[in-house]
């Protein structure tokens, strides 16, 4: 079973956000649980005891729909097993859960925690998994084997039977993409699906089939409006809405957007952008295409050639007025965004081109695009990884090594 994702948005009680932020920051500062002794009553989540959580984060977002100064708690995780099993484990590794979740409206104690989580959980529109067949346990075992096992014999060429079996498996996995497209057309209309697909693939001419289709349909990115960036390179200026109706999703947070970046080999990115009025179905069509590709066609460890993403998902929230983006990836924020802009330029414009404040020239105006992302980024107060020293490429090599050992 492929790892599942959980995204919870729970309204925080008035006046509790500062206290909750301090609690979560203490947990994040001691993510390995080595400085906070048990039995003190201080809330903590001992993520290192988790057997099934790949990544997890807590963040506090503004909640403008409930009024000025109101906030909500984001808990996002990727886990093995069912939701009920994940929630049960979360209870097991949390001391004084009331000190965290009790500050949220609707929480009625640990006995109803599963129902509380289910009522505040959101399903992704698109979800990518680097290694669909790997669990936390299998990744940890593979890294251990790779570290402890001696050099292996050179790989022998695969026989024809193995190659045929692999081809059949890829076909079986890819075949339902036809049904995915039909469902998207029924739900969103052929126009949205067609236009969304064109937007995604406009810059993907490195794939021969897409290049041919783009040539036949004359699908090209529109010319740039200006050879110059539309943003002043002032990284000291306070973040502000970039267009009428735009929002800063964590204006009350005193930490920088890049808080807890570059702490371990992996990083996390949380974005909340405002969808232009009446364009939610355009976003859904793009998400349907990305989700179908991620589930049916993407090879292990690579999303259109990007081999630094462990998990990524997009969710339409607040009656599709906002788009939430959550990513767990390798290396620095700057390298990650540069690689995205190089490899899937048109895909970025397709995803966020409907967002208020998006640069006129999109991701081709890289300084403006980065400013757009920073303006809509939410710092994670707590961030956990089950294998913090492993990159996607490490895991790919280690799992292959373990299978041959």
Contact (CB, 8 A) for 325 and 378: no
Tell me, yes or no, if the two domains 4-122 and 170-385 fold the same way: yes
CATH code: domain 170-385 is 3.30.70.100
User: What digits encode the pLDDT tens for the residues 91-139?
Assistant: 999 999 999 999 999 999 999 999 999 999 999 999 999 999 999 999 9
Q: How far apart are CA 75 and CA 72, in angstroms?
A: 10
Q: How far apart are CA 345 and CA 199, in angstroms?
A: 10
Q: Which residues neighbour 179 within 8 Å (Cβ) at sequence distance 6 or greater?
A: none
Class of domain 4-122: alpha beta
Q: What is the pLDDT of residue 380?
A: 93
Residue ranges covered by each domain of the chain: 4-122, 170-385
> 93: burial class by Cβ within 10 Å (0-12, 13-18, 19+)?
middle
Alpha carbons within 13 angstroms on the beta-carbon side of residue 225 total 8
Pull the structure tokens for residue 9.
């948005």
pLDDT tens, the chain, 405 aa long: 899 999 999 999 999 999 999 999 999 998 887 766 666 678 999 999 999 999 999 999 999 999 988 999 999 999 999 999 999 999 999 999 999 999 999 999 999 999 999 999 999 999 999 999 999 999 999 988 877 776 655 555 656 776 677 777 777 787 888 898 999 999 999 999 999 999 999 999 998 989 999 999 999 998 998 888 888 766 667 788 889 999 999 865 556 777 888 888 899 999 999 999 999 999 999 999 999 999 998 999 999 999 999 999 999 999 999 999 999 999 999 999 999 999 999 999 999 999 999 999 999 999 999 999 999 999 999 999 999 999 999 999 988 877 766
């Amino acid at each position: 079973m492929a790892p599942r994702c959980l995204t919870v948005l729970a309204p925080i009680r008035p006046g509790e956000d500062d206290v909750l932020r301090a609690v979560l920051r203490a947990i994040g500062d001691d993510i390995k649980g080595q400085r906070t002794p048990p039995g003190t009553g201080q809330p903590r989540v001992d993520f290192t005891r988790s057997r099934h959580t790949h990544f997890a984060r807590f963040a506090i977002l503004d909640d403008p729909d409930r009024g000025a100064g109101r906030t909500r708690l984001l808990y996002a995780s990727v886990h093995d097993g069912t939701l009920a099993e994940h929630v049960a484990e979360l209870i097991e590794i949390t001391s004084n859960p009331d000190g965290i979740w009790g500050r949220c409206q609707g929480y009625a104690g640990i006995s109803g925690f599963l129902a509380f989580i289910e009522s505040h959980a959101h399903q992704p529109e698109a979800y990518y998994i680097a290694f669909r067949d790997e669990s936390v346990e299998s990744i940890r075992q593979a890294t251990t084997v790779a570290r402890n096992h001696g050099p292996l014999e050179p790989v022998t060429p695969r026989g024809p039977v193995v190659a045929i079996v692999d081809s059949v498996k890829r076909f079986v996995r890819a075949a339902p993409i036809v049904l995915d497209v039909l469902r998207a057309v029924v739900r969103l209309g052929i126009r949205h699906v067609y236009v969304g697909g064109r937007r995604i693939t406009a810059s993907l001419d490195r794939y021969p089939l897409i290049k041919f289709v783009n040539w036949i349909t004359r699908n090209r990115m529109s010319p740039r409006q200006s050879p110059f960036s539309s943003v002043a390179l002032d990284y000291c200026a306070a973040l502000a809405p970039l267009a009428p109706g735009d929002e800063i999703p964590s204006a009350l947070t005193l930490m920088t957007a890049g808080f807890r970046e570059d702490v371990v080999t992996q990083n996390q990115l949380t974005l909340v952008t405002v969808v232009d009025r009446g364009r939610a179905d355009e976003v859904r069509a793009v998400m349907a295409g990305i989700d179908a590709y991620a589930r049916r066609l993407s090879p292990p460890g690579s999303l259109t050639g990007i081999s630094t993403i462990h998990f990524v998902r997009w969710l339409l929230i607040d009656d599709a007025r906002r788009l939430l983006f959550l990513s767990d990836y390798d290396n620095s924020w700057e390298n990650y965004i540069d690689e995205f802009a190089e490899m899937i330029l048109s895909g970025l414009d397709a995803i966020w081109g409907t967002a208020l404040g998006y640069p006129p020239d999109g991701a081709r105006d890289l300084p403006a695009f980065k400013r757009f992302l920073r303006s809509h980024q939410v710092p994670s107060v707590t961030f956990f990884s089950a294998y913090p020293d492993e990159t996607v490429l490490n895991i790919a090599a280690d799992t292959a090594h373990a299978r041959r050992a």
